[in-house]
Chains A and B, each alone.
Chain A
Amino acid sequence: MSDTMTHYERMRAAWNCEVPDRVPYMPMTVYFVARQGGLTIKEFITEPEKFLKAALDGLDFIGDAQHPALNTADHMWMLGHAGWDMTTLDWRIWDEFPPHGNLPSIYEKVLIQDYDDVMERGFSTILFSTALENNIHERSIDDFLYYQFEHTKVWSSVWRRFYDETGIPILIGGRAEHPLDLLQSYRGISQLVTDMYTMPDKVLEFSYWLADYEVMQASREAVTMGAGELPGAENIFFYNGAPPGMPPDLYAKLYIPVAKKMIDAWVARGFNVWCHFDNDQTPHLEGLAGFVDGLPKGRVLLDLEKTDMKKAKEVLGGKIAICGNVPSTLMVYGTPEEVDAYCKKLIEDCAAGGGYILGAECETPWDSKRENVVAMKQAAEKYGRY
């Protein structure tokens, strides 16, 4: 059987928890595509044209599951370009892939000493704090202004061309992060844990304060990227990385209400929300189910990393579309046969009735075997027919 839907049609059907022609697949292949295209990290983040070529070349083995937008908005944040929030974190960015360089990483440190102080004075001082060792003070004004206001537009024009040539939508337009996730970087995990137990109300107050900015800048970014004109740019990538292993009571008090408020705000403004989760969300599935309360259908997607996907389907099926979770280690160290078997099981567990997108656990690692990525693509086509 051959495909009867376009990629965008198939994705929209899945978001809507409706049955598409087959299971769509969405391995996040940002670094992998760059690596396969022979680019350095610096090249793929700062030179859109080179990345466009790598993405077009990748069509041969990744097919229509390219993720142009993830290669842009979501990864410009590391340079502090997409949102100023990232400029206040201690990002380390290398030019090259390992072994000559490394993947971008945040060094956690106590950058925020006092929540009240930041709500009083704002982030302006932290933005140029000497505690940050990301050489931000050495950037030129031209550099700042270009990356904040112009670079996104360059990427947008590149991905419009990509869509015109291939018919493949971009999958996100803007990005934002859950405040607790940012707080882990601003306070360090150990200090944040202390805060959550000793001053939970303050953490919550600060999270709401920070959420306003996250909602606004992601919306703005999605508009710049072409929401309403370029398919997929209407989706906000809502990153939820941390903290790992929260107990359900803290999760219900500090995580869920803030996330729900942000999701509601985006949907009210007309955007869709792709919630990306690191860590195991199995204990919190009931809470996540409430994300769509009061919202029109098809506006929220949950992309789950180490979660029990069968359980997720049981709890969320018919309500919210889910995506994930082929393990990173399998992509790097496994065989195509193992990837095939894992994907087959995922499709059996999650695909019935629609609302499932086959995807990698977080990002498809940069050093994945090409044949494993191909195996995932083929598994969706082989086992995912409705």
Chain B
Amino acid sequence: MGKVSDGIAALDAAAACAAVRADLERGRDPMELIDEARVGLQEVGERFDAGEYFLIELIRASQVFQETADLINPKLTELYGRGESRGKVLIGTVAGDIHDLGKSIVKVLLDCRGVEIMDLGVDVAPPAFVAAVRDFGPGVVGMSALLTAAIPQFRTTVEALEAAGLRDTVKIIVGGGTVIDLDAAMLKADHVASDANAGVDVMLAWLDEAGGASAAN
């Protein structure tokens, strides 16, 4: 841990950004800096898991991380070009639901771990998922919902992927406030995430297993 990661872990945007600016001026390797920033975010995630940090603090941490990343990224691209992707994830809130808080957190957490993400937004109909799987070629599809009324849509969406012959090209994870007590098999998914962090861990494991290459490409 250094000043950058400490700043992020303390949710102190001013301190974290000041530390980044100072380090960049001193000529510190931006790759090292972004890694340190990730450590800070990781620390927040661990404190969240331990019940020390709350959801709002997790969102704030992702914002502070983003502010530091915005400072570091131009330098990173200048020196190294575009980094290698760890894999592709397609995410969206299923049809009939517009809640996207959990999904947004997942997006930030994946982004800071070098995953390429396509976010379809909210109230996404099954055909839109199918088209995006075909075009984007993700290794993982993440579906989210908060309303019980939207739960049947998980299954409907998976069935649409089956009908399009794409089901076996992806791993499917679902998440959201009301699904955590449900069985993945009932939803025809591969996994039901209990929270954003746990879901991201599962997705990363899948992507790493697949060797970073997207399943469809």
Q: Does A231 have its Cβ within 8 Å of any Cβ on chain B?
A: no
Q: Does A317 have its Cβ within 8 Å of any Cβ on chain B?
A: no
Collect the chain B residues with CB atoms within 8 Å of residue A190's CB.
Answer: 59, 63, 104
With both beta carbons as reference points, the residue of chain A lying nearest to B63 in the complex is identified as A194
A196–B56 CB distance below 8 A: yes
With both beta carbons as reference points, the residue of chain A lying nearest to B101 in the complex is identified as A189
How many angstroms between the C-alpha atoms of A246 and B147 in the bound complex?
21
Collect the chain B residues with CB atoms within 8 Å of residue A103's CB.
Answer: 147, 149
Q: Does B98 have its Cβ within 8 Å of any Cβ on chain A?
A: yes
Q: Does B60 have its Cβ within 8 Å of any Cβ on chain A?
A: yes
| Interface 9-mer from A326-334, A345-353, A371-379 | A326-334
A2 to chain B, nearest CB (A): 35
Tell me the residues in window 84-134 of chain A with beta carbons closer than 8 Å to chain B beta carbons: 92, 98, 102-103, 105-107
Q: Does B212 have its Cβ within 8 Å of any Cβ on chain A?
A: no
A245–B149 CB distance below 8 A: no
B contact patch SS: helix
A197–B149 CB distance below 8 A: no
Interface residues as binary, B49-60 with A (CB distance below 8 Å gives 1, 0 otherwise) = 000011111111
A contact residues, range: 20 to 34
Q: Does B131 have its Cβ within 8 Å of any Cβ on chain A?
A: no
Collect the chain B residues with CB atoms within 8 Å of residue A107's CB.
Answer: 98
**Of listed B11, B55, B58, B97, residue having the most chain A CB within 10 A:** B55
Give which listed residue, A98, A246, A367, contacts B54 with CB less than 8 A.
A246
A247–B53 CB distance below 8 A: yes
Q: Does A365 have its Cβ within 8 Å of any Cβ on chain B?
A: yes
Given A103-B147, A246-B54, A328-B148: A193 touches B101 (CB 8 Å cut-off): no
Give which listed residue, A102, A245, A283, A329, contacts B178 with CB less than 8 A.
A329
Q: Does B199 have its Cβ within 8 Å of any Cβ on chain A?
A: no
How many angstroms between the C-alpha atoms of A246 and B101 in the bound complex?
13
How many angstroms between the C-alpha atoms of A190 and B148 in the bound complex?
24
With both beta carbons as reference points, the residue of chain A lying nearest to B180 in the complex is identified as A329
Q: Does A341 have its Cβ within 8 Å of any Cβ on chain B?
A: no
Given A193-B59, A196-B56: A366 touches B149 (CB 8 Å cut-off): yes
Q: Does B181 have its Cβ within 8 Å of any Cβ on chain A?
A: yes
B56–A247 CB distance below 8 A: yes
Give which listed residue, A106, A196, A244, A329, contacts B55 with CB less than 8 A.
A244
Collect the chain B residues with CB atoms within 8 Å of residue A105's CB.
Answer: 97-98
A327–B181 CB distance below 8 A: yes
Q: Does B141 have its Cβ within 8 Å of any Cβ on chain A?
A: no
Q: Does B182 have its Cβ within 8 Å of any Cβ on chain A?
A: yes
How many angstroms between the C-alpha atoms of A224 and B148 in the bound complex?
34
Tell me the residues in window 47-88 of chain B with beta carbons closer than 8 Å to chain A beta carbons: 53-60, 63
Collect the chain B residues with CB atoms within 8 Å of residue A298's CB.
Answer: none
B148–A245 CB distance below 8 A: no
A327 to chain B, nearest CB (A): 7
Collect the chain A residues with CB atoms within 8 Å of residue B181's CB.
Answer: 327, 329-330
Give which listed residue, B55, B58, B148, B182, contacts A365 with CB less than 8 A.
B148
Q: Does A243 have its Cβ within 8 Å of any Cβ on chain B?
A: yes
How many angstroms between the C-alpha atoms of A170 and B57 in the bound complex?
39
Collect the chain A residues with CB atoms within 8 Å of residue B54's CB.
Answer: 245-248, 283
B186 to chain A, nearest CB (A): 8
Give which listed residue, A102, A193, A327, contacts B56 with CB less than 8 A.
A193
How many angstroms between the C-alpha atoms of A207 and B60 in the bound complex?
20
Q: Does A295 have its Cβ within 8 Å of any Cβ on chain B?
A: no
How many angstroms between the C-alpha atoms of A189 and B62 in the bound complex?
13
Collect the chain B residues with CB atoms within 8 Å of residue A333's CB.
Answer: 151, 182
**Of listed A103, A106, A248, A366, residue having the most chain B CB within 10 A:** A103
Q: Does A250 have its Cβ within 8 Å of any Cβ on chain B?
A: yes
Collect the chain A residues with CB atoms within 8 Å of residue B55's CB.
Answer: 244-246
Collect the chain A residues with CB atoms within 8 Å of residue B178's CB.
Answer: 328-329
B148–A102 CB distance below 8 A: no
Given A245-B54, A328-B178: A189 touches B59 (CB 8 Å cut-off): yes
Collect the chain A residues with CB atoms within 8 Å of residue B57's CB.
Answer: 245, 247
Collect the chain A residues with CB atoms within 8 Å of residue B148's CB.
Answer: 328-329, 331-332, 365, 367
The 4 A-B pairs of least Cβ separation, nearest first, read A245-B55, A247-B54, A245-B54, A365-B148
Q: List 14 A-B contacts (CB under 8 A).
A: A102-B149, A105-B97, A106-B98, A189-B59, A193-B59, A245-B54, A245-B55, A245-B56, A246-B56, A327-B181, A328-B148, A332-B148, A333-B182, A365-B149
Given contacts A102-B149, A197-B60, 6 further A-B contacts (CB under 8 A): A105-B98, A194-B63, A246-B55, A329-B151, A330-B181, A365-B149
User: What residues of chain B have their CB less than 8 Å away from a CB belonging to chain A?
Assistant: 11, 13, 53-60, 63, 96-98, 101, 104, 147-149, 151, 178-179, 181-182
User: What residues of chain A have their CB less than 8 Å away from a CB belonging to chain B?
Assistant: 92, 98, 102-103, 105-107, 189-190, 193-194, 196-198, 243-248, 250, 283, 327-333, 365-367
